[in-house]
Chain A
Amino acid sequence: MDPAVTRILVESTVKIALFFFVVLTVIAYMTWVERRVSAWIQDRRGPNRVGPFGLLQPLADGIKFLFKEAIVPPHVYRPVYLMAPALIFIPSMITLAVVPIGPAVSLFGRRIALQVADVDNGILIILAFASMGVYGIALAGWSSQNKYSLMGGLRSSAQLISYELAMGITIVGVLMATGSLRLNDIVTHQMEHGWNVLYQLPGFLIFLTAAFAESNRLPFDLPEAETELVAGYHTEYSGMRFSMFFMAEYANMITGSALATTLYFGGYHVPGLAALGLSETAAALVQVLAFCLKVAFFLFVFVWVRWTLPRFRYDQLMNLGWKALLPVALLHLLWVSFLVLTGRG
C-alpha cells in the first residue's frame, strides 16, 4: 500500500481509539457527576461508598450491568430490537467526531489536526446525523411490541423532528456569519471576530433548548415519562442493552455541549492567549483544556436543569417547539442576515 495511505490509516486509527476511550470514560463519569450533583441539589449525599467520594461507582455499575441477565422478551421483533440501542448511540458519536478540540499541532514531525475527522461539510454532517437519532428511539419503541414503548417512541420521534427544525435554523445563523461549513473555520472566525454568542444570543438559547430536547432529558423526557409510560421506549430492555440507552443519552449530552461550545463559545479559543507568548504545543494544550472546561460547564448545565425544572406536558412541548421556538428562530435568522449584510456579524 502507498505509505501516505498507511500513515493516514494509522493516524486515524489511533485518533478513533483515543476518541472512544475518552468519550466512554466521560460518559461513565457523567453518571457519577449526575448523581452527586443531583444529591447536592436535593441536599442528599449521593453515591459515596465505592472508592473515595464514590469515584469507583461507575465501574461498579458497569460490572453490574455486564453480569445482569440480558432478557429478550419473547414478543419483541428480535433483529430490530437488538439493533435499536446501537442506532441511538452511533449517530451521536459520529456527530462528535467532526468537532475540533484544539488547533493543529506538530507531533512526531507531522501536522496533526486535533479532531477525528476534519470534514469540509462539518455542519451538514451534524445536521444529517442529528436527524438519524430518531430511528433508534422510534425503532426501540416499535420493536418492543408494547403499547407504552410504542407511545414513547412515537412521542420522541415527534419531539425530535419538531426541535431539529429550530436547531437547524439557528445553526444556519452561525453558518451565515462564518460563510463556511467547516467547524474549524467557524472557530477561527470566532477567534477573529469575537464569539458568536455575543451576536446571536437568542440563537444560542434556542440551540441549547433544542439540544436538551435532542438528548431526551428533563424537561423534555416525555418519551420515557415514567408516570405515564412505565419507562417509554426502553421499557422492555434490560442489562447492558438498557445501559446502551443510558450511554446514548449521555453521549447526546456531550455532543450537544461540544456543539454549543464550538458554534457559540469560540470552540477551543482562549481570549488573550497569544499575548502570553507560549510555545505552540503549550498553547495547544491550554486550548484543549479550555475546550474541555467549556464542555464541562455545559454538561453541568444539563445536569443542573434536569434537577431544577419539572417535565413539560406534551401539548406544551409541541406548542413550545412549533409556535415559539420555530418562529423566533426564523426571526432571529432574519436579524442575523441583516447583521451580516451590514457587515456587523
Chain B
Amino acid sequence: MMERDVVVRLLLRLIMVVVAYAVIRILAPARTLLAGAALGAGALALVALNPGALASVEFWAGLVGFAAILSALMIVIHPNPMVSVLFLIVNLFCVALFYLFLNAQFLAAIQIIIYAGAIMVLFLFVVMLLNLKAEEGLTARGGPQRYGAIVLGGLFAGLLFDAILHRGPQPYFDPGTFASGFGTARELGGLLFTRYLFAFEAASLLLIAAMIGAVVLAKRRLR
C-alpha cells in the first residue's frame, strides 16, 4: 500500500498533466505530437516517482484512472465529433478495466460487448451519417448557459479537490478480498435468477416494451 501523501501527490501530478494537455490542445489543436510528448513526459515522471509501484494494483488503477480522466476531457474539448466518439470508446474501456480491478470480470467483458461494442457503433453511425462539421462544436457557444456551467463546474471541481485532500485513512484503492468465484458468470447468473429475479424480469419487460415502441414509431409512416 502506498502512503497517503504519495497518493495525493500522484493525483495532483495527474491533474497537472491533464491540465497541461488540455491547454496545449486548446491553444494549438493541430499539435498532436506536442501534446503526445507532454503526455509521455508526464507518464515518465509518474513512473520515476515510484518505480516499485509497477507491480502494485494502485499504480495501474491510477494509470487507468488517468486515461479515463484524459479521455473524458477529450470527449468534451475535441473539435471533431467523430474523435469525441473515439475517446468515449477509450473511456468505456477504462471503465471496463476498473471493473477488472474490482474483480468483476464478467461485468468487464459485458461492458466492452454492450457499451464499447454495440452502443458506440450506433453513436459512430449517427455521427458519420449526420456529417457534423468539425467547427460547429466550437462556434456554438451556448449563451448565458455558459456562465452557469463555469460556476457549477468550479463548485464541482472544488468538491473533488476537497474529497481528495480530506479523505479518510483507508487505502486509496482497495480491491479487497473476495470469495472465490466472485464476479464470474455463474455467480452473477445465480443471483439474477434467484434473489434479483423480479428486478431482472421487470428490466427485460421494459426493454421489450421499448423495442416494440421503437419499431412502431419508426414504421408509422410506412403504413
Cβ-defined contact, A124 with B82, below 8 A: no
Interface: A228 (CB within 8 A): no
**Contact of B116 (CB < 8 Å), options: A2, A77, A132, A150:** A132
Cβ-defined contact, B117 with A128, below 8 A: yes
Interface: B14 (CB within 8 A): no
Contacts of B208 in A (CB 8 A): none
Interface: A181 (CB within 8 A): yes
Contacts of B124 in A (CB 8 A): 135, 138-139, 157
Contacts of A2 in B (CB 8 A): 55
Interface: B73 (CB within 8 A): no
Closest A residue to B54 by beta carbon equals A1
Chain A binder among B59-67, B107-115, B135-143, B146-154 = B107-115
Most B CB contacts (10 A, CB to CB) among A1, A80, A131, A153 go to A131
Cβ-defined contact, A127 with B128, below 8 A: no
Contacts of B54 in A (CB 8 A): 1
Interface: A174 (CB within 8 A): no
Contacts of B32 in A (CB 8 A): 79
Closest A residue to B134 by beta carbon equals A77
Cβ-defined contact, B121 with A124, below 8 A: no
The contact string, 1 if C-beta is below 8 Å from chain A, for chain B 34-66, is 000000000000000000001100000000000
Cβ-defined contact, A131 with B55, below 8 A: no
The count of residues in chain A whose C-beta lies closer than 8 Å to any C-beta of chain B is 26
Cβ-defined contact, B86 with A157, below 8 A: no
Interface: B173 (CB within 8 A): no
Cβ-defined contact, A124 with B109, below 8 A: yes
The contact string, 1 if C-beta is below 8 Å from chain B, for chain A 186-226, is 00000000000000000000000000000000000000000
Interface: B204 (CB within 8 A): no
**Contact of A128 (CB < 8 Å), options: B82, B83, B112, B129:** B112
Cβ-defined contact, A135 with B118, below 8 A: no
Closest B residue to A79 by beta carbon equals B32
The contact string, 1 if C-beta is below 8 Å from chain B, for chain A 62-85, is 000000000000000101100000
List 6 A-B residue pairs with CB atoms under 8 Å apart, sorted by A's residue number. Answer: A120-B184, A124-B106, A131-B116, A131-B117, A132-B116, A142-B82
